Amino acid sequence: MDYQNKLVLAPMVRVGTLSFRMLAAEYGADITYGEEIIDHKLVKCERRLNVASGTSEFVEKGTDNVVFSTCDEEKSRVVFQMGTSDAVRALKASEIVCNDVATIDINMGCPKAFSIQGGMGAALLSKPELIHDILATLKRNLDVPVTCKIRLLKSPADTVELARRIEKLGVPALAVHGRKIADRPRDPAKWDEIADVVAALSIPVIANGDVLEYDDFSRIKTATGAASVMVARGAMWNASIFSPKGKSHWEDVKKKYLRKSILWNNDVKSTKYTIKEMIAHHSCLELPEGKSINKADTLEDLARLYDLEDYFWTVKNIGPLTHNLNHVL
């Protein structure tokens, strides 16, 4: 994978499913990260081909619970992000999915209590030996590239030291979120500290933090010297942020996302969550629309709410052939 001058969709839990990744790519995202999947969950999965939707699904054994799904169309750009605290388990999980994705990425930046208490995410930042063990084990045993995404440490010097240690392990790129563990999204991202990492490394750095408009891609790139730029909330609120033509109206993007969710049979809970995040940012969930979404139990219910019933049944009746029909897409 080429990491120079790329627009990157960040990993986002409940948002970064196949339907949203395909939407982001259609608007111009070059690399699309999936939502973080915990290794404990993936090792309980088996791979299945879903002929009806044209996808490869990783399903929890003994259930119909789809943990991760992908398709051939995104194989060259999709990054599988994993939460882990154990090298052996990380390898076992990676071996299940590695033939269907472009890259395996280790989450070393999530500050949420669930991740930190489990020794995953940002908890790894203070465990360089474990980082070494995980990355070295994966690189030694996998044929796909292995990368990671980190946060800033307490001091710029500490961040640079860790980044250099990671670089020595042979990763092809490093994503850096310009916030520390204690920082919240409302706190400004520290682009200057990302720049310190860029200056210290020879591998491409992907800068992440406070990219909310298309012009921010060039702004953060100029400010940090990063090779590529990653966006999270800005894309969640309006995936057309990736388009050089300018943003589409969020209502149009919302409906297009629902069409993708129907097309790729996205989990209804993830679909509702993502739509509600769009509405909460641009409008208000207390209006009738938000209340109706809360009542929806299926994708068909959502299709009915947005006058997409004909589209829903066209997809259900034609199946994977719809992926090649422009009028349906």
The mean pLDDT value for 158-162 works out to: 98
- Bridge partners, residue 58, by sequence: 47, 68
Instruction: Look over the chain and give the mean of its residue pLDDT values, rounded to a whole number.
Output: 95
Residue 328's pLDDT band (cuts 50, 70, 90): very low
Q: What are the residue numbers of the active site? A: 110
Task: Indicate the SS3 state at residue 277.
Answer: helix
Share of the chain above pLDDT 70, in %: 97
The mean pLDDT value for 256-265 works out to: 96
Provide the pLDDT for residue 52.
82
Q: Residue 271 CB: number of other CB atoms within 10 A?
A: 24
Residue 320's pLDDT band (cuts 50, 70, 90): low
Token match 């204690």: residue? 182
Contact call for residues 30 and 7 (beta carbons, < 8 A): yes
Provide the pLDDT for residue 318.
81
Task: Indicate the SS3 state at residue 44.
Answer: coil
Provide the pLDDT for residue 321.
55
Relative orientation angle of helices 250-263 and 309-318, to the nearest 10 degrees: 30
pLDDT digits (tens, 9 = 90+) for 194-225: 999 999 999 999 999 999 999 999 999 999 99
pLDDT at 329 over 80: no
pLDDT at 48 over 70: yes
The mean pLDDT value for 40-60 works out to: 94
Q: Which of 237, 317, 305 is nearest to 276 (CA)?
A: 237
pLDDT digits (tens, 9 = 90+) for 277-306: 999 999 999 999 999 999 999 999 999 999
The mean pLDDT value for 174-197 works out to: 97
The mean pLDDT value for 264-270 works out to: 96
Domain 6-237: CATH class, spelled out: alpha beta
Provide the pLDDT for residue 325.
45
Provide the pLDDT for residue 149.
98
Q: In what order do the strands lie in the sheet with 45-50?
A: 45-50, 55-60, 66-70
pLDDT at 135 over 60: yes
pLDDT at 327 over 70: no
pLDDT digits (tens, 9 = 90+) for 60-119: 999 999 999 999 999 999 999 999 999 999 999 999 999 999 999 999 999 898 899 999
Q: Where are the domains of the chain?
A: 6-237, 250-317
